[in-house]
Amino acid sequence: MAKKNRRRSGGARELGGGSSAKRKATEPKSNDDSKALDFVTEPARPRNGAVMEWIKSLLVAAVLFVVIRTFILQTFVITSGSMEEALLVGDFLIANRAAVGVRIPGTQTRIPGYSSVRRGDVLVFDPPHEPDLKLVKRLIGVGGDTVSMKDGVLTLNGRVQVEPYVKHMDPAGDRPDPYWMSWQAEHLVDTVPSATYQPTRDNWGPLVIPEDRYFMLGDNRDTSLDSRYWGLLEGWRLEGRASLIYFSYNKGSFRPFPWLREIRLGRVFSRIR
């Protein structure tokens, strides 16, 4: 309103006509009145709408996190040395769940993955002997394979395996374990009598693996608690394929703040083989 009156009075002055009374009538309002009018007409911002947008964003982020963690990727940290040197204590790894299929939570039903597991894969799984534990081991044998070990050397389907990733820390520790290894008698080949079978850590088999069962071993063969002891792994227990180490530090260091001062830079963002 004030700007409109100002333009009109100026135009009258330019034309040069009209009395002083008319000019007085068309004088603009004071600046204080104009500011007051502007202040009154400024619209208030709706605060409830902004709060709702934040809530929606948080809900979408939470849903995406659950979907990714449940069906695509999951993170784990290594707490034992059973997979040295491929995985060290203090390695933080990403497991690809979509690659091998995903178990629907609370069931034994699986959604198929976009690839199948292969011998040599490093896999994360739920072991049969400890339901609340997650283990990481290397897949050695699948359904239909025959596996055995003699003096710590692995044989698969009659062929001696070359395993450059295997580590031995206690070669003299080979001994029988009837409590853990008794399950093997049910899967022996026909030529080995189960009545006299006495497996040890480094000498066992040959064992025939049934369909949809997997034989898992740790790379650190002398210290790993694996399929030699707790048995064959069912397919529905698989959690994912260990794919990438995204962070690593020397967890056993006695220095303060080892996660800052003892980072293994050479292992960060390295692929797991």
Q: What is the pLDDT of residues 199-254, one digit of tens each?
A: 999 999 999 999 999 999 999 999 999 999 999 999 999 999 999 999 999 999 99
In the annotation, is 137 catalytic? yes
Q: How far is CA 37 from CA 56, 154, 161, in A?
A: 37, 90, 89
Q: Cis peptide leading into 262, omega within 30 of 0?
A: no
Compute how many other C-beta atoms are within 10 angstroms of the C-beta atom of residue 256: 7
Beta strand pairing status for 213-217 and 135-141?
Answer: antiparallel
- Name the average pLDDT for the chain: 83
pLDDT of 20 > 50? The answer is no
Question: In the structure, what pLDDT confidence band is assigned to residue 43 with cuts at 50, 70 and 90?
Answer: low
Give the least confident one: 36-40, 139-143, 208-212: 36-40
Looking at residue 265, its pLDDT comes to 96
Looking at residue 5, its pLDDT comes to 42
> What is the mean pLDDT of the segment spanning 1-15?
39
- Which pTM was predicted? 0.75
pLDDT of 193 > 90? The answer is yes
List, in order, residues 6 or more apart from 125 with CB less than 8 Å away.
134, 135, 137, 216, 233, 237, 238, 239
pLDDT of 38 > 90? The answer is no
- Which candidate in 82, 148, 227, 248 is catalytic? 82
Looking at residue 41, its pLDDT comes to 53
Report d(CA 201, CA 147) in Å as an integer: 14
Looking at residue 159, its pLDDT comes to 97
pLDDT digits (tens, 9 = 90+) for 83-136: 999 999 999 999 999 888 887 777 777 788 888 899 999 999 999 998 889 999
Q: According to the per-residue pLDDT averaged within each range, which of 29-33, 108-112, 181-185 is highest? A: 181-185
Report d(CA 136, CA 139) in Å as an integer: 10
Residues 248, 90 contacting (CB under 8 angstroms): yes
Q: Tokens representing 104? A: 């629907």
- Which candidate in 137, 148, 167, 224 is catalytic? 137
Looking at residue 246, its pLDDT comes to 96
